[in-house]
Structure 1
Amino acid sequence: MSDSETAYPVATHQKYEALIARAKQAPSARTIVVHPCDETSLRGALEAAEENLIVPTLVGPRHKINAVAQAHGLDLSPFEIIDVPHSDAAAARAVELIREAKGEVLMKGSLHTDELMRAVTSSTTGLRTARRISHVFVMDVPTYPETLFVTDAAINIAPDLDVKRDIVQNAIDLFNQTGLGTPRVAILSAVETVTSKIPSTIDAAALCKMAERGQITGGLLEGPLAFDNAIDPEAARIKGINSPVAGRAQILVVPNLEAGNMLAKNLTFLARADAAGIVLGARVPIVLTSRADSLRTRLASCAVAVLLADARRRAAAVPSA
């Protein structure tokens, strides 16, 4: 057996179980579920409600939601359904409900992500803030001892330095506010040295300097780091990288969406990791789930959103000095 195989014992997704258990200690989050018109999305919302993570309001064509429930033996009697004619209308109405303070979390149902995000990012009626919207995969990798955040692998295709600053800050804030502590943040590239031939190494160095100057707060940054130097202590030692982050990263910041998507899917399909998804930078956390997600992954996505909503709720309750 190789050193890499013995570095970490294979765990059984205990990190997700810990997140879910912590979220159950917080008040259930009022959650607007957008167009839950297939079994997977509807059952996922109802199971999160059964676990006392969320209190869902279902927004979509009532006849479709009822038909799915009847076909699969799901009880909708405890829940409010807001009837709209189609998925675009569901996204628009869901965003309105958030703007009216009727919900603390937005959850994607069976509509396309693009449909939902068009409503969310509208400059006039959406949920934008001063921060750039970005996505984080919260990953439970059985062979890695840390809960691993990968960002951004779903929204920002080719982010420039300013967008990367927001991507990093969004992920750090999520890590802090879900009770995981101060994160070790690895800014990934193909190599660990700064070179003009690979622009992402220059961005990585700039982000680390921004953290030194207080433009990014709440985390320990290191970069550029190649993937092996970010997550394997022996690889970092061999390369002579002496850093509290190298070999022990908890947040992996990728150069672009393509790299992030490939990394997350490699971890999912080769390392049997679970990948909960959440969108940050909007007025409320947005739960993005896939039809292929397991129940544990769906509950973990909800748990992360609930912890974030609770942290915001508690922060709003503290009077300013």
Structure 2
Amino acid sequence: MKIENKVFDELQPGDTASLRRLCTQDDLIVFANVSGNHNPMHMHDADGDGDGIPEAIAPGMFVGALVTAVLGNVLPGAGSLYRSQSFVFHNRAHAGEELESRVTVTDKNEQSRTITLATEVTRPADGALILSGVAEVEAPRVKLSYSSHDLPGLVVQRHRHFEKLLARAAPLPPLVTAVVAPEEPNALGGALLAAEHTLITPILVGDPDRIARTAEEMGADLSSVEIHAEPDHDKAARHAVALVSQGRAGALMKGHLHTDQLLRAALDKATGLRAGRRFTHVFVMDVPGLSHPLLVTDAAINIAPDLKTKVDIVQNAIDLAISIGIDEPKVGVLSAVETVNPDIPSSVDAALLSKMAERHQITGGLVDGPLAMDNAVDIAAARVKGITSPVAGQAEVLVVPNLDAGNMLAKQLTYISHAEGAGLVLGARVPIILNSRADDDMARLASCAVAALHHARITGAV
């Protein structure tokens, strides 16, 4: 966008200019970090006045800064410098509201080469005056014309989607969960933390001495926690599965044992938890800057899935997405290209999965593929490629060609894009919570919240 300033001689009383800006929760977080003002009245998730409701009031100086955007960019524009500014605050602005800032030239001082401007910020939705004031600025002396600056982008690292999942799961009764081999701090700590948040009621299955030593090391009290003694990990996994079969538990949670030990017990044809579909893994990811949760599947169990397995991968992911509040999940089936190429098997599988969804062999979501990564998640990239689809550019579920691709994608999102990932195994009679030792507290809580929400939906509790 071309921007041109106005020098002193061009300015006349009555000249006016305005800009509009949507005030977001992220704006308030950025302002708190930059200014050092951490007043809870301005935070989207804090209650600053004790009424039990987060206020999310835009700080006065944030609103005032919208005036400076007009002064510095438009009128007078580039080269302007403040002499003084006064503000009177008439109403409060909040996150989620659009604001309009306006300046109007009221006087010129030939001797000091300064101008005086009336300044105001209003809320167009109802016409409310938020602030008014008077600015005195040194007008530009040199005529400048330039393109608007492309500033470095800011990504606010917060768990907005996981916070919503925790809030959504909060009213549910705690999900009784058999935790297998919680014999080190991460495994035991995650279960106890989820119990504190009333997401689960843990039953600990493992070596009681190791569990006790771990609890002592953490300073945790296990006096009210049910513990089943089984030092052998294979037997502990089978015991936990038996608790589910007996109706004692509604979920499994991996502790300090190998994933294949837990899944072997769950997959046992005689005593396991098979429910008719392949076991598949889903990462529910909270990616900074993305407006919705992103599900990635399968990144942990099925190494090189055939078409039949991919049908279960897609259906399980759709079912989970619905459980966490996505009414009609948009599923992008990934390949290296967005056209069907017989030499690229993943593109053929993607097209078949898309057609199967059209014929209701896969239900509950919109499925499209093949899609390359860019045109699956970026609407502009999809438009450039001429792809018209309700999924392209806005996929909420990404189905990868194989485990290698899924694992790399999930870890790139985690370690490069600073995403958080909640891990769940689906296809069993109950959710299986699969955490990594590298997961932080929020990821562990989110995994339990996702399991509780899915269990509640499949059992008819919600």
Instruction: Name 1:196's counterpart in structure 2.
Output: 342
Aligned to 1:238: 384
Distance between the aligned counterparts of 1:2 and 1:218, measured in 2? Answer: 44
How many Å separate the matches in 1 of 2:386 and 2:434?
39
- Aligned position for 2:446: 300
Equivalent in the alignment of 2:68: none
Between the aligned partners of 2:419 and 2:323, the Cα distance in structure 1 is: 23
Give the Å deviation of 1:13. Answer: 1.5
Give 1:114 shift: 1.1
SS of 1:25's equivalent in the other structure is: coil
SS of equivalent to 1:211: helix
1:69 aligns with 2:215: yes
Secondary structure of residue in 2 paired with 1:314? coil
8 Å CA contact retained: 2:331, 2:395: yes
Secondary structure at the counterpart of residue 169 of structure 2? helix
How do 1:167-178 and structure 2 match up within 5 A? 167-178=313-324
Write out aligned runs for 1:43-122 (5 A). 43-122=189-268
Match of 2:423 among 277, 288, 298: 277
Q: Rg bigger for which structure?
A: 2
Do 1:24 and 1:53's aligned partners in 2 also have CA atoms closer than 8 Å? yes
Residue pair 1:37, 1:64 contacting (<8 A) in 2 also: yes
Structure 2 letter corresponding to 1:300: A
Q: 1:83 to 1:192 in 2, by over 3 A?
A: same
1:182 deviates by 1.0
Letter in 1 for 2:376: A
Partner residue in 1 for 2:111 = none
Q: Secondary structure of 2:173's match?
A: coil
Quote the RMSD (CA, aligned, Å).
Answer: 1.7
Q: For residue 148 of structure 1, what is the amino acid of its counterpart?
A: L
Alignment partners' CA distance in 1, 2:166 and 2:309? 30
Measured in 2, the distance between the counterparts of 1:11 and 1:214 equals: 38
Higher RCO structure (Cα 8 Å, ≥6 apart): 1
Q: Are 1:208 and 2:354 counterparts? A: yes
Runs of 4+ in 1 over 6 A off after TM superposition: none
What is the rounded CA distance, in whole Å, between the counterparts of 1:212 and 1:147 in structure 2?
24
CA shift at 1:2, angstroms? 10
For residue 123 of structure 1, report the CA deviation from its aligned partner.
1.4
Aligned AA (2:310)? K
Superposition deviation, residue 10 in structure 1: 3.5
Structure with a larger share of its residues in helix: 1
Distance 1:282 1:105 in 2: 10
Q: In structure 2, what is the equivalent of residue 152 of structure 1?
A: 298
Residue 187 of structure 2: aligned partner: 41
Percent identity, please.
57
How far apart, CA to CA, are the structure 2 residues paired with 1:225 and 1:59? 43
1:13 equivalenced with 2:159 (yes/no): yes
| Structure 1 residue 179 displacement after superposition | 2.1
Task: Identify which of 405, 414, 423 aligns with 1:259.
Answer: 405
Equivalent residues of 1:27, 1:310 under 8 A apart: no
* Contact 1:178/1:311 (8 A) holds in 2: no
Partners of 2:218 and 2:157 lie apart in 1 by 33
How big is each residue's C-alpha offset from its partner over 1:215-237, in whole Å with a ceiling of 9 and x where there is no partner? 00000111000000000111101
SS in 2 for 1:159: coil
Deviation at 1:11, TM superposition (A): 5.1
* Deviation string, structure 1 residues 253-298 (Cα, Å, up to 9, x no partner): 0000000001001111110011110000001000000111010000
The answer on whether the counterparts of 2:178 and 2:203 sit within 8 Å (CA) in structure 1 is yes
8 Å CA contact retained: 1:189, 1:224 = yes
Shift of 1:9: 5.3
Q: Say if 1:149 and 1:250, in contact at 8 Å, map to a contact too.
A: yes
Q: Bigger CA drift: 119-128 or 192-201?
A: 119-128
Verify the 8 A CA contact 1:136 1:152 in the aligned structure 2.
yes
8 A Cα contact 1:20 1:303, kept in partner: yes
Aligned to 1:220: 366
Q: Which amino acid aligns with 2:437?
A: R
The answer to whether the 8 A contact 2:279-2:426 is kept is yes
CA deviation profile, 1:134-168 (whole Å, cap 9, x unmatched) = 00000000021110000000000011001000000
Match of 2:122 in 1: none
Counterpart contact for 2:157–2:418, Cα < 8 Å: no
**3-state DSSP of counterpart to 2:239:** helix
Equivalent residues of 1:189, 1:254 under 8 A apart: yes
Q: How many residues align?
A: 315
Q: Which whole-Å CA distance do the structure 2 matches of 1:107 and 1:292 have between them?
A: 16
In the alignment, the residues of structure 2 paired with residue 96 and residue 207 of structure 1 have an alpha-carbon distance, to the nearest angstrom, of 35
SS in 2 for 1:216: coil
The structure whose residues are more often strand, as a share, is: 2
User: TM-score of the superposition, structure 2-length normalised?
Assistant: 0.66
Matched AA of 1:146: H
- Is residue 354–residue 369 contact of structure 2 (8 Å, CA) maintained in 1? yes
